[in-house]
Structure 1
């Protein structure tokens, strides 16, 4: 295998800015392409390295994996995640690395021999694609196209009965051309099809630049922004922006699927020597990810959940004290988080005993109930940066802090940082305590609390702002978000409006992912006037993050039924 890889490097030269490879030579007649990689051990070792990771328990409709076999374990991870289900057809989207297609796209009717066994082409599907002869040609470039060939041993192992439709994409293709190919693929892609996007990400950059470009790409993916993906640069962001665009578009339009990035690494991580020009890798799964999704994850990548407003007092207290209600709600939430760390916004004051005469707009909750629920939900942090933390003044705030400390639950207030294992959350509120007319509290000095020296530790602003029941930011919040972006945060996660945003918004070309409001989590308001979401936040070892928005049921109404 090493000899084969060296051969590819030797025959590739740069002429006029274009990579050139040896002339295309087709196998005799209709014979399969000969094996490209000779060493089966590389693939078997990679497959063994992910054997302990559970495949997705919900059917995937697409995966994105690298083709650089330095990251063979990541290729295996993507295929392993999809391997819980069978597929008749696999479409592979790859760059045409050596600029060998005369048209914009190439495919082939030939099959392939691999180090682990043969892979057949889906001749009927290929012919349908080749009917678009003005843009798709039959080609033997796949003999040496590693973007496809690196996939095939894994494909044979995990899906031995599947047939393939390989597609090599020219760098000359632009967005209108990608849209044409997407339309041509639609008759081929059905519910028995898995779309495999074979893409390496940021190229030829030092690691700190690669990290920034990767974060921009991850934020555009999280937002599902076709415009944002189309605006990414090649190869700074990816070696095939077109493949990423077509994958995202087909997944949305054919399956209603969203992406979930489960790995992001850089080639620098694979050696102790300094690498001046790196390549980065992404593994993404595409699916609908409904309740009880088992969320495949590597032990090295930490997952956190951020949720909105929580208060265990008033009417919420009454329903939680009913037989079985707290258990039902806890079970529902833990089925989503998998008992991973959860961070919430605690609205109100924790007291040993809540006075009966307290008014409804003063939020207070009993210590035993609050501490018990927070522990059962695996809460790893409580934000007190909100407009109800001082409802009973400084003494009430001190009581809350005492109760949380006694229960061993970390907390963070205005301008304070919650330092998790590999992530910093900074609490901020732009709204003063209930009963005060003070708003617009965030000053440059408070915003400067977001500045962190270690760029490999992502910082997230957990901010209380905006207007109740409004899901769109005002000019004030837009200005604050930009100031937070300039201070280097990876994500801005908001609360206070009691209603949830429906989307993740990428700011400034993807520098920051913003969720304006998570709405309610455990709060005594009906679904008629409120809503809630939870944000899944996955942290990767190079300091990038990927966020996914999960709509929540109304737990208050669940407890009333």
Structure 2
């Protein structure tokens, strides 16, 4: 629950490179007792400034000046309050700064257990080193009508969970007024639901909800990474039950704030989370630190086509898509004037021309025989290679039931065409080593028409075991039954075996229909998308669907996944 908020801490953070490693623990330990004393300003005066030097805030704001704000309106952000990572706080506010807000609700832990009720707020404004921030008095009074759980309090004099937000808020949203909320550690899920209901009348389209939360606490980095991954997977799934099951402070210093943010975003705005940063305090020193703190920046919005998707250069973004075949009826539409260009432009609008990995169903041939039957998938080399390059495909999966449709010689022809084009590929049990993570191809289904199934043996699954524990491993698996989005007992068993071998995510294909959500397995250890369905495949929307998985890799080895529904590109091309 507790973390640094002391003014001296901000100066130390600013001078961090020069600080001896022996002082590192100061940023993860509770503030001294004197910092928690409460002083109420006289009359209706503002709380005085909590930090006495604006340099830290100005430097952090300057550090993210080149990050493009979101071009779609955000309805919430999650940012840290440890000013060791002031640049991450600035990143969250910068992402939201493309739009104006009249009101900002700040959800913070009550770090020093000063509220007598479950929640505290205040009608007072705040002076900061960069200017004043006013309270939204009507909204605060509306919240205080819930007097059995909400009280007026002066604890905000020393509450860094709120005070660390205010200089950034003043810079990016100088006209906005705030509703600060400090949350007691005593509150439980039923209490969080009550506060969410109490906030609904004051949260409208002109409101930004700022969740001031630090994540895993008091753990060495290898443990913190595991807890962070669990949190990220549960957040990606949007699971309120999963969030409510998180442990405090191992997962976050305010699970309640994360729960309330997620619930309000879903129910008021149909908004989804997008995590754009995940760091650990160990990353700020080369010396081993026994007790660390983790940090997350998340954006909430109804992200639609054309979303600019803010990202730092240090965090790498990839896309995984489902079944692709450039033969049969798909070939006929792609050769029409303008169709291929229209489809490529639609895809690149989603990916931002970032690397894409697809499941290539079928055989690439220099010339496809006219007499080939419809269930034998083959595609012309020129068209296939051209489309893969235009889509910025960084790798194709060949672990599927159509890669050997023309036997070993057809498979060899496919490899030759891909190698000549410089397009990476990975088949059964093979690893595609990308710059930031490893993809392992697996198929439980043999060549089309074969009765051989249940191919995945323990020896093949062991291909998922990689020596570098920091480097994420993703299973790209072909399994299941066509047109069914629910796993069978066998797929559930295989997924658990993959989890036990340390994969970060399981991404499936074959059913030609897409899963509707990311599922966190075993308390969030693994993110599973049972099926991505079709990507570029000649089946109508009546019987098929497809999604793309965005996979963001952070420097500490964690990932965040986001499922993006796709249009039916086959039907798009026929119009």
| Residue of structure 1 in register with 2:176 after alignment | 162
SS where residue 186 of structure 1 aligns? helix
Q: Secondary structure at the match of 2:409?
A: helix
State the alpha-carbon separation in 2 of the partners of residues 112 and 24 from structure 1: 15
Question: 1:89 aligned to 103, 116, 128, which one?
Answer: 103
Indicate yes or no: 2:233 matched with 1:219: yes
The Cα shift of 1:14 comes to: 7.8
In structure 2, relative to structure 1, the CA distance for the partners of 1:217 and 1:19 (3 Å cut) is farther
Residue deviations 1:97-138 (CA, integer Å, cap 9, x gap):
000000000000000011111000000000001111110000
Q: Does structure 1 retain, via aligned residues, the 8 Å contact 2:480–2:487? A: yes
What residue number does 2:115 align with?
A: 101
On the 8 A contact 2:123/2:136 being kept in 1, the answer is yes
* Conserved 8 A contact 2:547-2:564: yes
Q: Aligned-pair distance for 1:5?
A: 5.8
- Determine the structure 2 residue equivalent to 1:197: 211
What do residues 298-353 of structure 1 show as CA deviations (whole Å, max 9, x unaligned)?
Answer: 00000000000000000000000000000000000000000000000000000000
Q: Aligned pair 1:325/2:330, yes or no?
A: no
Conservation of the 8 A alpha-carbon contact between 1:4 and 1:36: no
User: After superposition, what is the alpha-carbon deviation per residue over 1:385-419, rounded to whole angstroms, capped at 9, x for unaligned?
Assistant: 00000000000000000000000000000000000
Gaps in structure 1 of 5+ consecutive residues: none
Q: Does 1:440 align with 2:445?
A: no
**Cα gap change, 1:4 to 1:268, in 2 (>3 Å):** closer
Q: CA RMSD in A?
A: 1.6
Is 1:391 the counterpart of 2:396? The answer is: no
1:517 paired to 2:493: no
SS in 1 for 2:126: coil
2:494 to 459, 472, 480: 480
Q: Secondary structure at the match of 1:46?
A: helix
SS in 1 for 2:528: strand
Deviations 1:221-273 (A, max 9, x none): 00000000000000000000000000000000000000000000000111122
Counterpart contact for 1:252–1:258, Cα < 8 Å:
yes
Match in the other structure for 1:309? 323
- 2:8 corresponds in structure 1 to 3
Residue 274 of structure 1: how far off its partner (Å): 1.5
In the TM superposition, residue 40 of structure 1 has moved relative to its aligned partner by 0.3
Q: How far does residue 24 in structure 1 lie from its aligned partner after superposition?
A: 1.6
In structure 2, stretches of 5+ residues that fail to align are: 1-5, 13-24
5 Å matches for 1:176-325?
Answer: 176-325=190-339
What's the CA shift for 1:23? 3.1
In the alignment, is the contact (CA less than 8 A) between 1:430 and 1:441 conserved in 2?
A: yes
Does the alignment pair 1:456 with 2:465?
A: no
Give the distance between the partners of 1:485 and 1:416, measured in 2 at CA: 18
Q: Secondary structure at the match of 2:178?
A: strand
Aligned residue for 2:3? none
**Hey, what's the Cα distance between the residues in 2 that align with 1:331 and 1:5?**
46
Give the 5 Å matches for 1:518-557: 518-557=532-571
Q: Write the mapping of 1:59-78 to structure 2, written as runs, cut at 5 A.
A: 59-78=73-92
Aligned equivalent of 2:128: 114
Normalising to structure 1: TM-score of the pair?
A: 0.98
Q: In 1, distance between residues paired with 2:439 and 2:293?
A: 29
Find the counterpart in structure 1 of residue 16 from structure 2.
Answer: none
| 2:279 aligned counterpart, secondary structure | strand
Structure 2 counterpart of 1:49: 63
Contact 1:14 1:20 in 2 (8 A): no
Tell whether the 8 Å contact from 1:430 to 1:465 is kept in structure 2 after alignment: yes
| Secondary structure in structure 2 of the residue aligned to 1:361 | coil
How many residue pairs end up in the alignment?
Answer: 557
